[in-house]
Amino acid sequence: MTTEEADSGTDTSTNQAFVEVASLADLASEGQAVVSEGGHAIALFHYGGEVYAVDNRCPHMGFPLTRGSIDDGVLTCHWHHARFELAEGDTFDIWADDVQTFPVEVRDDAVYLDPDPEPDVPPAIRWRNRLADGLQENLSLVLAKSVLGLHKHAGNGSGTASRASSEDGGGAGTGGDIRGDGNEAEEDSAFRTTIETAVNFGTRYRDSGWGRGLTTLGCTASLYHQVGERDKRRALFMGARDVAADCADEPPRFQQYAFDNRDVSKERLKEWFRDNCEVRDADGAERVLLTAIATLPREDVAEMLFAAATDHLYMNASHTLDFINTAFETLEHVGWDSEAHSASDRASGEQREPRADHADAVLASTVNQLTDATRSEELSSWRQPVDIADLCFDAADRLPDLVTAGEGETWNEPSSFVETLLGDDPEAIIDALTRAIAAGASTTELADAVGRAATRRVAYFATNNEFSDWNTVHHTFTYANAVHRATAKTDATELYRGCFDGAMSVYLDRFLNSPRAPLPDPGDSDRDPVAIRAELLDTFDEQGKVNRAATLVSEHFDVCESIDSQARRASSDVAGGDPADLKRTLGRGLVREDAGFHTIQNVEAAFQRFDAVDDPLEKRLALMAPARYMAAHFPTRRETEQTFSIATRLQQGERLHEVE
Ligand code: FES
């Protein structure tokens, strides 16, 4: 070190910028010290004749490690007793994370350290690995930290943090929030890494395959782009958390292999697949499906799966078709093939058979939903007092003729069509549906009509029913929405059967709308939409504000529709009155609660219905329905928010142990 370097306290003779931080004699005398360098509080320990430097913030929840103790080379934090190997910082307790260490040198009687050492692995990789740890060990705080870490360090590890602002930011008892700097590519990278890591884990480590955890993940991935900026990470955290919980203590899944014969026709593969599902042979069905993924266009794979999902009635009380649809939509977020394989194929320059690692894992994991499903024709409610199962099967048998009759025709939906679907005559309902097909109604048009009827079952749900029946109408609603979404993935005529099943479930739910809940008619309002949204959030703080929540949603639409859109954009007084803001408020209400699987599904499906319909009244109903459902289920204990808040404050460097 030169005299000048020694004077400045900086050693430039190596690549490491060592700085003098303490006297060795003083440190040896005290045993420990805290120094501040490079923005870190760094703990120095003199132990066993050696000097060690570690981040003074315990990686678990930030407690000062100089207030811990060292025994036998193990540093123990005194808050929750996490233990760390002193030299390299490795933890014995996976929930706590490794503590960062700093290189130290002793020169003469002075201690030098490098406050900014090169990390062993890039931060984005470190947080991805940590996310995997959190999934494996089912550790909510680790998951929350990882989602935040991935967003902060996406891209080149240069993520930035700033306070959220406006309606999107601050508050809600969270102690503030961290958000990215608006770099969309980095946000997308963090989003995709989180979803991909959770999908890879969830499809491998649950023997029974795709379940509620991965469905929640798929829903939160969809909600990510519709909630406010500060709630995006909460949404991903909720998804990852549910995957971890759903896989906890489950045996792993072993995936089958595609057939070597790649020259099997679509028709034969489809028949084999359905035959194997019919006899509940999961392994056989999976091998056929993997062969189809390797050889057929995606829409043909979708046709196979949705055909099998409608070979029996309303399978698994809606979940089979709904989960398969969500699996396809999750693939839209992560892609059919993994980036690792895409990159290796590009690098090799070879023409290879396309590989679809994600599609293989995701779609194969749904097979048990088909082979193990309850078939609603087995239920007495579908057989007595009216055999509605037979009505569905008869209508399905007539499909070829109905579709032929409808070719080239354009269906004009009768004005009373949805009310017919809401009626109490199942034969009239099936008759209306089959007439529509013969008149040219597409699967998308018919599924949309059933979806509008099913939306009303939630929107009109009478609160004098048993509370658990919220989920009865919820299942019908998400099933109908999933059938509609499925029609965008394949034009398979088998999806008409999904319309029959959905309509019969709407029929079975009729008593849950007796009497219909009072919904406000469209009107005028000059209230500030921001105040309406604030009050809507407030309704979720109290139990039972079901009808008030719907009224506020309706009033928000009143404001939007009573003001000319151009004037609305021009006037700052009423800015923010768009339904997109209302969605963000509902999203805010959702992610701050310990929202269950069904509630998350309900909101996601409602947002999809909102986007699917054009009629203003239908759009109102699409958002009034989830507002009522949410108000019925909120408030919760908000433990999830507490965990996320802790992770956020730790990332911001707050001292949690000093806050009451
Ligand atoms: S163990 Fe150190 S803060 Fe919890």
Average pLDDT in the 105-134 region?
A: 95
Return the best residue to mutate from 79, 649, 658, 659 for the ligand 1 pocket (most ligand atoms within 8 A of CB).
79
- The reply to whether 384 and 506 lie within a common domain is yes
pLDDT at res. 655: 81
Evaluate whether residue 445 is within a structural domain.
Answer: yes
pLDDT at res. 560: 78
- The reply to whether 92 and 130 lie within a common domain is no
- The reply to whether 507 and 383 lie within a common domain is yes
Nearest to 549 by CA among 590, 513, 592, 580: 590
Pick the residue whose CA is nearest to atom 4 on ligand 1. Answer: 80
* Inter-residue contact 301 to 293 (CB < 8 Å): yes
Distance from Cα 386 to the centre of ligand 1, integer Å: 62
3-state helix, strand, coil in the chain (%, to 5): 60, 10, 35
Atom of ligand 1 nearest to the CA of 80: 1
pLDDT at res. 563: 60
pLDDT at res. 552: 97
Distance from Cα 157 to the centre of ligand 1, integer Å: 26
Return the best residue to mutate from 55, 69, 77 for the ligand 1 pocket (most ligand atoms within 8 A of CB).
77
pLDDT at res. 17: 87
Asked if residue 377 has pLDDT above 60, the reply is yes
Average pLDDT in the 301-323 region?
A: 98
pLDDT at res. 525: 86
- The reply to whether 238 and 129 lie within a common domain is yes
- The reply to whether 292 and 393 lie within a common domain is no
Pick the residue whose CA is nearest to atom 1 on ligand 1. Answer: 80
Average pLDDT in the 506-511 region?
A: 98
- The reply to whether 107 and 27 lie within a common domain is yes
Our count of domains for the chain comes to 5
Q: Mind listing the pLDDT tens digit for each residue in 570-582?
A: 554 444 468 999 9
Return the best residue to mutate from 54, 61, 65 for the ligand 1 pocket (most ligand atoms within 8 A of CB).
61
- The reply to whether 297 and 230 lie within a common domain is no
Atom of ligand 1 nearest to the CA of 93: 1
Average pLDDT in the 277-294 region?
A: 98
* Inter-residue contact 607 to 223 (CB < 8 Å): yes
Asked if residue 11 has pLDDT above 70, the reply is no
Q: Mind listing the pLDDT tens digit for each residue in 543-553?
A: 999 999 999 99
Distance from Cα 25 to the centre of ligand 1, integer Å: 30
| DSSP 8-state assignment for residue 311 | S
Please name the residues in contact with 360: beta carbons below 8 A apart, sequence gap of 6 or more.
255, 290, 293
Asked if residue 555 has pLDDT above 50, the reply is yes
Evaluate whether residue 649 is within a structural domain.
Answer: no
User: Is the peptide bond between 426 and the residue preceding it cis, with omega within 30 degrees of 0?
Assistant: no
Pick the residue whose CA is nearest to atom 3 on ligand 1. Answer: 61
Evaluate whether residue 399 is within a structural domain.
Answer: yes
Asked if residue 220 has pLDDT above 90, the reply is yes
Distance from Cα 77 to the centre of ligand 1, integer Å: 6
Evaluate whether residue 521 is within a structural domain.
Answer: no
Residue 58: which domain range? 3-113
List the CATH number of the domain containing 12. 2.102.10.10
- The reply to whether 410 and 506 lie within a common domain is yes
* Final residue in a domain of this structure, among 321, 346, 371: 371
- The reply to whether 127 and 238 lie within a common domain is yes
Q: Mind listing the pLDDT tens digit for each residue in 27-65?
A: 999 999 999 998 889 999 999 999 999 999 999 999 999
- The reply to whether 587 and 636 lie within a common domain is yes
Provide the 3-class DSSP secondary structure of residue 488: coil
Atom of ligand 1 nearest to the CA of 68: 2
Average pLDDT in the 372-392 region?
A: 98
DSSP code string of 51-105 = EEEEESB-TTT--BGGGSEEETTEEE-TTT--EEETTT--BSSTTT-PPPB--EE
Question: Distances from the Cα of 290 to the Cαs of 103, 286, 340, 390, in angstroms?
Answer: 51, 6, 19, 33
**Virtual CA dihedral for 224, 229, 234, 238, nearest 10 degrees?**
-10
Q: Which protein residues are within 6 Å of ligand 1, measured from CB? A: 58, 60-63, 77, 79-82, 96
pLDDT at res. 584: 97
Angle between helices 388-397 and 495-508 (to 10 degrees): 160
Evaluate whether residue 519 is within a structural domain.
Answer: no
CA torsion sign, 392 to 395 to 400 to 404?
negative
DSSP code string of 174-243 = S---EE--S-HHHHHHHHHHHHHHHHHHHHHS-TT-S-HHHHHHHHHHHHHTTS-GGGHHHHHHHHHHHH
Evaluate whether residue 321 is within a structural domain.
Answer: yes
- The reply to whether 15 and 45 lie within a common domain is yes
Distance from Cα 153 to the centre of ligand 1, integer Å: 23
Q: Which residue has the tokens 């056929």?
A: 288
Asked if residue 564 has pLDDT above 60, the reply is no
Evaluate whether residue 94 is within a structural domain.
Answer: yes
Q: Round the average pLDDT of the chain to a whole number and report it.
A: 90
Average pLDDT in the 492-517 region?
A: 97
Q: Mind listing the pLDDT tens digit for each residue in 467-486?
A: 999 999 999 999 999 999 99
pLDDT at res. 208: 97
pLDDT at res. 5: 41
Distance from Cα 82 to the centre of ligand 1, integer Å: 6
- The reply to whether 353 and 440 lie within a common domain is no
Distance from Cα 164 to the centre of ligand 1, integer Å: 28
Distance from Cα 65 to the centre of ligand 1, integer Å: 9
Largest CA distance in the chain: 98
Evaluate whether residue 80 is within a structural domain.
Answer: yes
Between 529 and 1, the more confident residue is 529
Burial 261-296 (b: 16+ CB within 10 A, else e): eeeeeeeebbebbbebbeeeebebbbbbbbbbbbbb
Atom of ligand 1 nearest to the CA of 657: 3
